[in-house]
Structure 1
Amino acid sequence: MPNKNKRVINMKMHAAKKYMPFYAPLLFFIIFISACAKNPVTGERELVLISEQEELNIGIKNYPVTTQMNNGLFKDEELQKYINSIGKRLGEASHRQNLPYEFNVVNSSDYNAFCLPGGKISITRGLLINLENEGQLAGILGHEIGHATARHSAKQISRTVLTQAILVSLEAVLAAKDVKNRELYSLGSNFGAYLMLMKYSRDQESQSDSLGLNYMAKAGHNPTGLKQSMEILQKAHKKEPSKLENLFMTHPLTTERIEAISKEVNTTYKDAAIRELKADEFNRKTAHLKSLKDAYAHYDNGDEAMGKKDYKTAESEYKKAIALHKDAIFYSGLAFALFKQDKAGDAKTAIDASIKIEPNLFGSRFLSGIINYKSEKFQASLDHMLASDKLIPDVPQVKLYIARCYEKLNNKEKSAAYYKET
C-alpha cells in the first residue's frame, strides 16, 4: 500500500478515536428515537433495530438452513400436516395472526423446539416422540409462538447489535481519556452485557409461557399440557442431559417457571384446564414415529460410539438401526463409521444409499464429497460439494473442498475464486 494511502487511513482512524466519545451519545439517541416500535403484545414502545419485514426475511432465509442443520425433515407427511394444523390454529389465536407461520418436525434426536423470526417453528423428533398428548404438543408450539408474537428474536438481535456498539464506544472513550486499567472496564462491561442478555432471556421465557397458555385456551386446548411438557423435559434432563443441552442453552427451565405455569393454569385458566388433553388423536398421528423408537435408539448409540471413536461399535449400532428402518441418516452414520475404519468402498456404498433415500440432505452430500475426494474422484466430489453449498450456503469447509476439486480438475480460475471465499 502506498505511504500516502497509509497516512490517510491513519488520519481517519485518529479522527474516529478523537471524536467518537463526543458523537457516540448523539448517535445512540438518534438510534433510540428512530428504532422505537410498538410491541404487538404489550402495546408499549420499545427499542427494535429491525423492521417487521426484515424479521420475516430473516426467518424465510434461515428456516431451510436450520432444518438442514437438524438432519432435515422427519419423513412422515401426515405427521407434518398434523403439526402444521395444530400450530396454525394456535397462530390464529395469537396477537400476530397474520404472520406466515410454518411448523415442521426435524429429524434430530435432541429434545428441542425453536422459533426463528417471523414464526418459523420447528420441533425435533426427539422431543415429539416423548410427548403423550395433543395438549403437550400445543404447549410446546404455543410457547414458541409466544416468542414470535412478542418479537423476542428481533429484540435479541437488536440488543446484541446495540451492546456491541456501546462496547466499541466505551473502549473509544476509555482510550481517548487514557484511563488506567481500561481493559478491566471493558471486561466488566462485557460481563454486564452477558448478564443483561441472560436476564432478558429468562423474562422472555416467562412471557412466552404466559402467552402460550393464552393461545392454548383460545384455540380450545387444555393449558395443563404446557405444564406437563415442561415436567417431561425436566425429567428427561436428569436422565439424558446431553440431549437437552441446546434446549436449555436457549430456553432456561427452572422449578419456579413450572410453578408459575401451574399457578396460572389453576387461576386464570381453571375452566380450560378441565378440557380433554386429546391423547387418542395424538397417538394415532404419532403412531409411525413411536414405532421407530428402537431404531432411533440404535442410531443414537451409534452416534455416542462415534463420539468415543469406537467405530466398530458405531458400525454395529447403525446396522441394527438400518435393519429396523431405512433412514438416510442411518446410512450416512454408517458411511462415516466405515470411512473412519478406512473401508472406502463400503463407505461409498452406504453414502450412496443415504443419498438415494434423501438427495437433499446436507450431511450426506458433504460426507459423500469427502469420501469421493479421498478416493480421487474429483468430479463426483465437486458435484456433491456444490449440492452441499446450495443446501447450506457459505460453509467454509465446503468452499475449501470446492476450490480443491476445481484445482485438481485444472480449473484455476474457479479454484482461485472459491479459495478467496474460504
Structure 2
Amino acid sequence: MNDALPDVRAFRLSPEVARPLRHGLPTVAVQTINAITAEVPAYRDAFAGEFGAKLERAVRAALGTFLELVSRAEESESRAPLASALEAAYVLGRGEARNGRSLAALLSAYRVGARVAWRELAAISVATEQPAPTVAHFAELVFAYIDELSAASAAGHADEVAASGRTQLLHRERLAHALISGEPEHALVAAAARAQWDPPRTLTAVLAPDRVARTIADQFDARTLRLSEAIPGAPDRSVLLIPEAHGNARATLLRRVKAHGVVVGPARPWIRALESFDRAVRALEVLRPDVRGGCLDTEDHLAALIVTADPQALADLRARVFAPLSGMSEAAVAKLLETLRSWLAHQGRRDEIAAELFVHPQTVRYRMTRLRQLYGDRLRDPDWIRSLTVALVAPNPA
C-alpha cells in the first residue's frame, strides 16, 4: 500500500452514513463497469457473456467489502474482509495474465473504477448531508483501498507471467527433444501446440558450446528452440533449432555465429529438423579438428560426410587399395601416398607435384615409377582411380 494514503482499516463510518451508501451500491457498480468498458479498450469485449457477469460480481464484492471495512464496529474484526478482498484481487491478477491481458490494462481499470466509484459514492454522501471533512477523508479511503487491491492484482499478474514463462520454457525444451528424437508428425504438432509455438517453415540445427548457446539464441527469432541436455556425439554442446534460416538468411546465420565454434546443419522443414541435427552431429564427429574457434558449415563438407557415412566400408576400401604397399616401412608408404595424392590432384603434372611436395621433379618421377610397379595397369583404370581418390582424400572418421 502507498504510505502516503491512510489505512482503510482504521476508519469507521456510522451506520447512518453507511446505510445509503450500501443501498446505492448496485448503481455504483453498474456505473463503474460502464466506465471501465468505455475507457479501457482491453475490457470492451471482456464484460460480454459469462465472464462479464463474473467481473460485475467482483466489482460489487470489492465495493461491498470496502463499505464493510469502513463501517465495522470492532477493530479486531477489520482484517478479515480486507484479506479476503486482497486474495480475490490477487486471483484476478493471475486470471488476467492467463487471459493475455496486460498489467497496464488492469491498472487502468482500477484507476477508472476508483474515480467513478468515488464520484458516485461522494454524490450519495453529499446528498445525505455529510460534513465536508468526512467526505474528503472518505475520498482518501477509497483510493487507499484501490491502491491495496491494485498492488495485490499486480503481484498476482507478475506471478502468473513468471509461472507461465517457466511452463512455456519447459514445453519448448520438450518440443526440441521431440524434434531431434524423430517423434511422429502428430506428436510434434501436439507438442508445438502445448508450447504455444508457431511452427516456422524451416529449422536449422546448430550445435553450440554450452557457454555461448544462450548468447547465440538471443540473436535470432523468438521461436528458436534450445536444448542443453547431454547429447550423444556432442558433449558439452547445446542444440539450437533456429527458424527461417534458409535461402539468403543462411548467410546471416553463419555471420552471426562464425566466432563461436559451432556446427551448422542444413535448413529443413520444421517437421524434419532431425535431419539437420543428424548431419550436424555427424559433421562434428568426422570433422572435429576443423571446428576450433570458427564455424563449420555442413554445406561445405558434403563430400566428406558422404564418403565417411560408413566408417567400416571406408576402412575396408583403404585396406584393399593400399594392399600393394603392404610390407613397406611406414615412412616409405607415407611418401608414396603423399605423392599419389598429389598426382591425382594435379592429374600427373610432374612440375606441379614437385612444387607442392617441395621435392625435385626427378624424385616425383622415381616415386611414380615405383607406384606403377606396385599397382601396374590399375593406375589407368577409372574405377580404381576413383577408389584411390576416395581412400586418399576422405577424412578419418572419429
TM-score, structure 1 normalization: 0.21
Question: Which protein is bigger by CA-based radius of gyration?
Answer: 2
TM-score (norm 2): 0.22
